[in-house]
Structure 1
Amino acid sequence: MITSLPPPSSFEEPLGSRMYHIRAESIERIQSEASTKETKRSKFLSFTAYVCKLLADGGNDVGSSISRMGVVVNGRRFLTEVNKKSSSWFENHYGNVLSVTYGVAANSDLKAVALHEVANRVHGFVSETTNEEHFRGLIDWVELHQPAQAVARIYFGHEKSEGRAVVVSSGHSLPINDMDFGWDKPEFGSYHVPWGSGTGYIATMPSASGNGDWVVYMHLNDKEFDVIERMAPNVFRPLSISSLV
C-alpha cells in the first residue's frame, strides 16, 4: 500500500474496455491444465494463471520482459469468521475489505514452464493474504494512516521498468441469477471499472444463463488485447447477443 498519490498522468498506451464470453468447457480445460494429480486448482486461480502465461507468451508484443499479475482478495470471509468469535470486532463494519496481492516474474520464465507451474506461483502469492492475520494488519495500517488516501501499489504499475501489471478480480459472488427488477431476470451482468490507472484490470463473472459459462470484462491496452485474441480466439469470444441466449 502507498499513501503518496501522484497526480493523474496521461499514459503512453491508453486502455480500452472489451467483454468476452468464455464457454464452460474452455474454463474446465484451463482448470485441468492448471491442476495436477495431487492438487486441483480453483477455476478462478487457474484462469488467472492462464492469462498470466498467455500475456507472457506474447511478451514481445506487449512490450515488457517482466509481468506483474495481481489478484483481488476479499477479506470479509476471514473477518466474518473472526466476528463469530468476537461480536464487537467487526459488527459495525460496512463495505468491502479488499487486498490486492501480486507476484512478479520474468516473461522468459513464464514461457518456459507449464501452466500448472504458473498456477503454483499464483497460489503462492495469493495464499499469503488469505488469512485473518493479513487482514487484521491491513485494517490496522489503514487506521494508522487515515484520513490519508491509499491504494494498492500495483495500481501504479505503468512504468516500463517495473513491467506490465494486470489485476484479476472475481465477481462470482454477485447473485446475477437472483436479481429481478420487475421485468424478469437479467440475461447479462458485468463490470465497468474506470479506475484511471495504467494497470490492466480483468473481472470474471458467471453467465446469467447459469450453464457454467463466464462473462469476462477486460480493461487492457491494444497490444494485450491483440495477444489474447490472436493466441486464444477459441477461448475469448467477443460478447454478442447470440452468446447470451
Structure 2
Amino acid sequence: MAKEGTTDGAWHGHGREVTITAVSTVAPALPVHEHRLPLSNLDLLLPPMDVGVFFCYAADPGDRNHHPAAVLKVALAKTLVAYYPLAGEVVANAAGEPELLCSSRGVDVAEATADGTVLQDLRLGLPDESIEPLVPKKKAGVMSVQVTKFKCGGAVVGCTFDHRICDAYSFNMFLVGWTVAARGGSAPPAPSFHRSFLAPREPAPLCTTGNLVDRLFVPVSRVPALPDTPAVNRIYRVSAADVTALQASAGSGRTKLEAFTAHLWGLYAKAAAALRRQPHSCCMGVVVDGRTRLRRDGAMSTYFGNVLTIPYAVMGTGALSTMALADVADDVHRWVAEAATGEHFRELVDWVEAQRPEPTVARAHLCRGNGDEDAMACVVSSGMRLPVGEVDFGWGRPAFASYHFPWPGGAGYVMPMPSARGDGDWVVYVHAAPEVVEVMEAESTVFRALEGSYVFDRAN
C-alpha cells in the first residue's frame, strides 16, 4: 500500500545531522470510493495552517538493523481505512471554499536517520533547534509523518496535519487507533464524520448584532492589518506542585487551566509594560471544545473534525498588574463559561452559514484591544487529552511528547499537556514574543527549563 521513493535531503545544525533516507506514500489498506466531504461550518473557521506533534522513544524500537518506520507504515495503512480523510486532499469547491477530496491519495512517510547524535542530546526545550528537523513539513495531502532513528537506537515519530480537517481531539483518536493497530490489538470505536451534528438550523434564527459570536469572530474582509510580531518557541516543564499551588491561589471552584491562564495573563501584562508603549493592553483567549456542550449524551465523542470556539477578553496592563490571581481567574472563568454552552456553538454554526463563502477568523488572533489599538495577545489551548501513555507502537510508551505549533499569527500560542512521566507534571509548548519568554524565564517557579535529565533519566 506504499509507493516508495528516496531522497538525499539532510538537515545540518548544532553539530547534528538528520538525513531523509526514503519517502513513501501510504494509502488505506482497503480502497475508499472517491468522494467529496464538505467541511463543517466550524472547520471553515480555520485558516490553512498545519499542526505538528512528536513522540520520543528512548527504548530501542526492535531490531537495530531495521528502521522502525516499517511497522508504522503497515499499521498506518490499516488505520487509514477508518480515518480515510487523513489520506485525502483539500480542494476548492465551486464557491471557492475548501473541502475534502477523499481520494485515497495517502500519507507521505519520510524515513530519516540521525546517526551523528543520540536522542538524549536533543535540547527539547529549544524546539526551533531540536524539533524542527524531526517534524515533517507537509508538502501535499492532509497529513505527513517522519520517523527518525538515532544512533542510540531510539526514535522520534513526528506528524503534521491540516488543522482545517481536524482538531487535536480528533487527531488524538487517530493516534490511539494507529498505535493499537501497530500492536495488533482490537480497533477502538470508529470515527464519525456526520456533518449533521453541525448543520445550521432551519429556518435560521434572527441574528442580532453584538451577540457573543459577533464579539468573538469577524469576516476576513473586516480584519485590520496585523502587526508583524517576532516570536520564539520554547518547551517548558511545570511541576505538579506548581500546578496545584496555582489552582489553590486561584480560589475555590477554579480549574487548573483557568488558574494557569490567569497566571499567564499576568506575565503577558509584565511583558507588555516592559515594551513601554501606550496604550498597554493584553488579550487572552482560551480554546473551548464543544462536543459535550452540543451533545451531552456522548453522541459526539467520536466526531472527527473541528468543534472549537475561542472566547477571549482584553484588559489593560495596569489593571492586571494590581489584581490578585484569584480575581483574574474569576474573570477568565466568566468569559470561558459564557462560550462553553451548546447554544453558543449552535449560534456559531448559524453565523458562519450567514457569512459564507467569505472566510472568517477568531478575533482572539488579531492582537487588538477593545479600542482597536495594538495589544499583546495569546491563545491558550489545553493539550491535556494528549494520550501520551497510549502512543505505544509496540516498543513502549514515549519518554517525551509535545505538540509543535509555531503558527504564523501575531498572537502567542501556549499549550499545556501531561508529562510523559505520568506524575502530574505538565509540559508546556510556548510560541510567544521574546519579551514574554524573558518574563517567563525570570520567575523562579512555574515555567521551568526542560533538561535532558528530566526527560530521559526515568526512560533508561
Tell me which interval the TM-score lies in, with the shorter structure as reference length. Answer: 0.7 to 0.9
8 Å Cα contact 2:292-2:298 kept in structure 1? no
Partner of 1:193 in structure 2? 405
Superposed displacement of residue 5, structure 1? 5.6
Superposed displacement of residue 182, structure 1? 2.3
Encode CA deviations 1:137-176: one digit per residue, 9 max, x unaligned: 1111222333432220121216892311111110111211
Partner of 1:116 in structure 2? 326
One-letter code of the match for 2:294? Answer: L
SS at match of 1:136: helix
SS at match of 2:409: coil
Task: Describe the shift of the 1:179–1:162 C-alpha distance in structure 2 as closer, same or farther (beyond 3 A).
Answer: same
Aligned equivalents of 2:450, 2:340: Cα separation in 1: 32
Partner of 1:77 in structure 2? 292
Query: What TM-score, normalized to structure 1?
Result: 0.87
Q: Which residue of 101, 108, 112 corresponds with 2:311?
A: 101
Q: Which residue of 233, 249, 263 corresponds with 1:33?
A: 249
The reply on whether 1:211 has 2:423 as its aligned counterpart is yes
One-letter code of the match for 1:25? Answer: A
Q: Larger helix proportion, structure 1 or 2? A: 1
Aligned equivalents of 1:68, 1:140: Cα separation in 2: 26
SS at match of 1:184: coil
Superposed displacement of residue 213, structure 1? 0.1
One-letter code of the match for 2:220? Answer: S
Aligned equivalents of 2:424, 2:232: Cα separation in 1: 27
Partner of 1:126 in structure 2? 336
Partner of 2:390 in structure 1? 178
Task: Describe the shift of the 1:233–1:91 C-alpha distance in structure 2 as closer, same or farther (beyond 3 A).
Answer: closer
Encode CA deviations 1:52-111: one digit per residue, 9 max, x unaligned: 112223442145511111000011121232675xxxxx6996312100110111111111
Partner of 1:24 in structure 2? 240
Q: Which residue of 231, 237, 242 corresponds with 1:15?
A: 231
8 Å Cα contact 1:55-1:62 kept in structure 2? no
Partner of 1:54 in structure 2? 267
Q: Aligned pairs, how many? A: 236
Encode CA deviations 1:13-40: one digit per residue, 9 max, x unaligned: 31111000111001111111111xxx22
The reply on whether 1:233 has 2:444 as its aligned counterpart is yes
Unaligned runs of 5+ in 2: 1-216
Aligned equivalents of 1:32, 1:109: Cα separation in 2: 22
Aligned equivalents of 2:357, 2:309: Cα separation in 1: 18
8 Å Cα contact 1:172-1:205 kept in structure 2? yes
8 Å Cα contact 1:15-1:221 kept in structure 2? yes
Superposed displacement of residue 235, structure 1? 1.8
SS at match of 1:30: helix
Aligned equivalents of 1:68, 1:120: Cα separation in 2: 16
Deviates more, 1:171-180 or 1:214-223: 171-180
Partner of 2:96 in structure 1? none
Aligned equivalents of 1:176, 1:92: Cα separation in 2: 19
Aligned equivalents of 1:92, 1:167: Cα separation in 2: 25
SS at match of 1:162: coil
Task: Describe the shift of the 1:5–1:217 C-alpha distance in structure 2 as closer, same or farther (beyond 3 A).
Answer: farther
8 Å Cα contact 1:56-1:67 kept in structure 2? yes
SS at match of 2:398: coil
One-letter code of the match for 1:161? Answer: E
One-letter code of the match for 2:347? Answer: G
Superposed displacement of residue 181, structure 1? 1.8
| Bigger relative CO (Cα 8 Å, ≥ 6 apart) | 1
Q: Larger strand proportion, structure 1 or 2? A: 2
